[in-house]
């Protein structure tokens, strides 16, 4: 049986709708998300699936739309002044757009721009 861990930044995003699931509220931002999830994975029994959920703005999708993001970019990574492509992490072999996750039929696909600014 798949028992997913649902990860949200804030309780306001889940609004008790997912009370029957294993839910983690990790705080706002990439660092809080990474730290909160790693602590949960270290201290608890590992879930069979981790689903990152939450709210985000979009110019392409109407409010309230569930978007299946499998492509990600760090929109706040900008060292173009040093000659790097916008979004490129210096000295990393990772591409500017990371492709990861499962495509789920029936949901629109999207590019998630993540940033802490």
3-state secondary structure of 7: strand
Note if the pTM is more than 0.85.
no
In this prediction, residue 38 carries a pLDDT of: 96
3-state secondary structure of 94: coil
Kindly state the tokens that stand for 38.
């790693």
pLDDT tens across 43-96, in order?
A: 878 898 999 888 888 888 888 888 999 999 988 999 999 999 999 999 999 999
């Amino acid at each position: 049986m798949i028992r997913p861990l649902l990860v949200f930044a804030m309780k306001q995003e889940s609004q008790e709708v997912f009370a029957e699931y294993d839910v983690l509220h990790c705080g706002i931002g990439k660092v809080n998300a990474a730290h909160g999830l790693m602590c949960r994975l270290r201290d608890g029994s590992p879930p069979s699936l981790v689903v990152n959920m939450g709210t985000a703005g979009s110019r392409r999708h109407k409010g309230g739309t569930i978007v299946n993001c499998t492509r990600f970019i760090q929109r706040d990574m900008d060292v173009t002044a040093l000659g790097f492509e916008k979004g490129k992490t210096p000295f990393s072999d990772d591409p500017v757009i990371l492709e990861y996750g499962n495509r789920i039929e029936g949901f629109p696909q999207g590019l998630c721009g993540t940033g802490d600014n």
